[in-house]
A and B are shown apart, each in its own frame.
Chain A
């Protein structure tokens, strides 16, 4: 069964204090790994898609990396506006089938000024 586990469940940082969020996954065949940011009561906002081990992508203070078993979202010098829940999802290969996403429960990040 395809499964995604995110850790920690919640993380509090001081402004400027860099850290990483973890996403561990088991999947029959990985088509892609997705990262999203979600603000309270809103829909997830697309951040990155990673496809193969060793791949890295960056956007402002965020950098996502991928290995064969996990992905990390590194946050460098975070600001209060980076506070949100970060969701990780895998998209399994499914020949002729759906391109569904299997999500973890998310990491709630709070950045204090």
Chain B
């Protein structure tokens, strides 16, 4: 089991609401990446944080935003939720320049 923890594990929100997902990275890791995984698909890169700054972004609108804190934990915020935002949100922890990336167990978000 990895040292990457995500909270909450499940969440149900109404369309138009805002949500915050949290991730604690593995000890010694300084980089956090967020991915969205729709049912039956591979994870899609949302963005990555290194040294508390966004360091690369995938094809996601600005209503997806994030933060990284001095202890390397991270948050993913999604505003104005849409039905298509329903997915498994995954956080990956790594050491920049390293050889491995470890995922948390994910947060299952359902938008109704």
The answer to whether A and B assemble together is yes
Show the binding face of A for B, using Cβ within 8 Å: 4, 32, 34, 36, 41-46, 49, 87, 89, 94, 97-106
Q: A87-B42, A97-B55, A105-B41 are in contact. Are A49 and B106 (CB under 8 A)?
A: no
Can you name 10 A-B pairs with beta carbons within 8 Å?
Answer: A36-B103, A41-B106, A43-B6, A44-B103, A49-B100, A97-B56, A99-B56, A99-B94, A103-B44, A104-B42
A73 CA to B25 CA, complexed, in Å? 28
Say how far B9's CB is from chain A's closest CB, in angstroms. 9
Q: Is the beta-carbon distance between A43 and B99 smaller than 8 angstroms?
A: no
Q: B56–A94 contact, CB under 8 A?
A: yes
User: When the two chains form their complex, are residues A44 and B90 in contact, meaning their CB atoms are under 8 A apart?
Assistant: yes
| Bound CA span A101–B34, Å | 10
Q: Contact at A99–B31, with CB atoms within 8 Å?
A: yes
Q: Is there an interface contact between A49 and B99, defined as CB atoms closer than 8 Å?
A: yes
Contact (Cβ within 8 A) A43 B105: yes
**CB–CB A102/B104 < 8 A:** no
Residue on A with the closest CB to B46? A100
Taking CB atoms and an 8 Å cut-off, the chain B residues in 53-112 that contact chain A are: 55-58, 88, 90, 92, 94, 96-97, 99-106, 108
